[in-house]
Amino acid sequence: MHGAGNDFILVDDRALTFPVADKAFLARVGSRRTGIGCDGFILLQPSNSADLRMRFINPDGNEQGMCGNGARCLARLAFDLGAAPKEMEIETQAGGVRAEILDDQIRLVLTEPTDWRMGLDVGLDGAVDFVNTGVPHVVVRVDDLENMDVVMVGKRLREHEIFAPEGTNANFVHVEEDGTLSVRTYERGVEAETLACGTGATAAALVAARHGWIGLPAMVHCAGGYDLRIDSSKGATTLTGGAEYVFDGEIGYGNRI
């Protein structure tokens, strides 16, 4: 499935049989040239505290606490499988999030943003801002987003000592004349630019609104050509966008792929 171009391998793992600890297997399946390819694996698992549990594993085998686009895809899958109602609670490592199926859109109520750090000096021409929207994100405002070297600068920020030891995702943001945002993201764990990042788009919109560059709700244009809608009211931050199937099938554990 993909959410705004952010693509995932989703697994119905309610039987808890997926070999999550086998990093070599994950790397083979997650490889874009020799496997299926993905920005991450998402497991649908049972939960004792919510309608379902989400586990998100990067292609390198490391687990992340949350993924906004991935959670929307998981909500769509869980509803279509009859594993969750139209309005559902999802357990994640970053805390509980709520999701609602709205025809072809899924609205996600995220955990409260934390660890705000504004105006950080990281050696770039200007200051950057940081917020955790379920996973850590640094936000950089740029004038020329198209020609930005997202991979080079993103990697520098991801590994910067100020964000150690976990590192951070890096979002490069351009404020459009119509009050919308265009965003490109370097994702930690993928270690490359991705076509979209839900929690990154959320971080970008919240930072931009705090600076007064835009108002909320805000539309964020992602690199893959899809839009995400970010809003924040009464203490709730929401991320709304589509979640689409690409294909479905089966592979056997241990298969060469």
DSSP string computed for the chain: -EETTEEEEEEE-TT--S-TT-HHHHHHHH-TTTS---SEEEEEE--SSSSEEEEEE-TTS-EES--HHHHHHHHHHHHHHTSS-SEEEEEETTEEEEEEEETTEEEEEPPPPEEEEEEE-SSSSS-EEEEESSSEEEEEE-S-STT--HHHHHHHHHT-GGGTTT--EEEEEEE-TTS-EEEEEEETTTTEEES--HHHHHHHHHHHHHHTSS-SSEEEE-TTS-EEEEEEETTEEEEEEE-B--------TT---
Average pLDDT, the chain: 95
- Is the domain of 122 the same as that of 97? no
- Is the domain of 123 the same as that of 214? yes
- Is the domain of 157 the same as that of 183? yes
Give the range of the structural domain holding residue 81, as residue numbers without chain letter: 2-111
Q: pLDDT (tens digit, 9 = 90+) per residue, 66-76?
A: 999 999 999 99
Residue 104 in domain: yes
Residue 150 in domain: yes
Average pLDDT for 191-205? 96
**pLDDT for 53:** 98
- Is the domain of 9 the same as that of 107? yes
Q: pLDDT (tens digit, 9 = 90+) per residue, 173-197?
A: 999 999 999 999 999 989 999 999 9
**pLDDT for 121:** 96
Placement of tokens 């924040």 in the chain? 232
Whether pLDDT at 255 is above 80:
no
Record the pTM: 0.92
Residue 76 in domain: yes
Average pLDDT for 236-247? 97
- Is the domain of 137 the same as that of 216? yes
Look up the CATH number of the domain holding residue 45.
3.10.310.10
- Is the domain of 130 the same as that of 144? yes
| From 38, 73, 197, 222, the catalytic residue | 197
Q: pLDDT (tens digit, 9 = 90+) per residue, 131-142?
A: 999 999 999 999
197 catalytic? Reply is yes
pLDDT band at 254 (very low <50, low <70, confident <90, very high): low
**pLDDT for 60:** 86
Residue 218 in domain: yes
Average pLDDT for 80-95? 96
- Is the domain of 186 the same as that of 236? yes
**pLDDT for 159:** 96
**pLDDT for 257:** 46
Whether pLDDT at 102 is above 60:
yes
Q: pLDDT (tens digit, 9 = 90+) per residue, 40-69?
A: 999 999 999 999 999 999 988 899 889 999
| From 38, 67, 73, 222, the catalytic residue | 67
Whether pLDDT at 22 is above 70:
yes
**Total of domains in the chain:** 2
Share of the chain above pLDDT 90, in %: 92
